[in-house]
Amino acid sequence: MVRVLFVCLGNICRSPMAEAIFTHHVAEAGLGDEVALDSAGTGSWHAGEEPHPGTRQALKRRGITFAHIARAVTADDFVSQDHLVAMDAANRADLLRLGCDPARVSMLLDYVPGMAGEDVPDPYYTGDFEHCYHLVDAGCRALLQRIRAHHAL
Q: Cβ 34 to ligand 4NP, closest distance in Å?
A: 27
Q: φ and ψ at 89, to 5 degrees?
A: -65, -30
* Active-site residue, from 38, 88, 122, 137: 122
Binding site for ligand 4NP (CB under 6 A): 8-14, 45-46, 122, 124
* Active-site residue, from 14, 38, 77, 88: 14
Is there a catalytic annotation at residue 8? yes
Is there a catalytic annotation at residue 14? yes
* Active-site residue, from 8, 13, 100, 140: 8
Q: Which is nearer to ligand 4NP, 93 or 153 (CB)?
A: 93
Q: Which is nearer to ligand 4NP, 26 or 119 (CB)?
A: 119
The CA dihedral of 105, 101, 103, 70, to the nearest 10 degrees, is -20
Q: Cβ 8 to ligand 4NP, closest distance in Å?
A: 3
Q: Cβ 84 to ligand 4NP, closest distance in Å?
A: 14
Which residue numbers are catalytic? 8, 14, 122
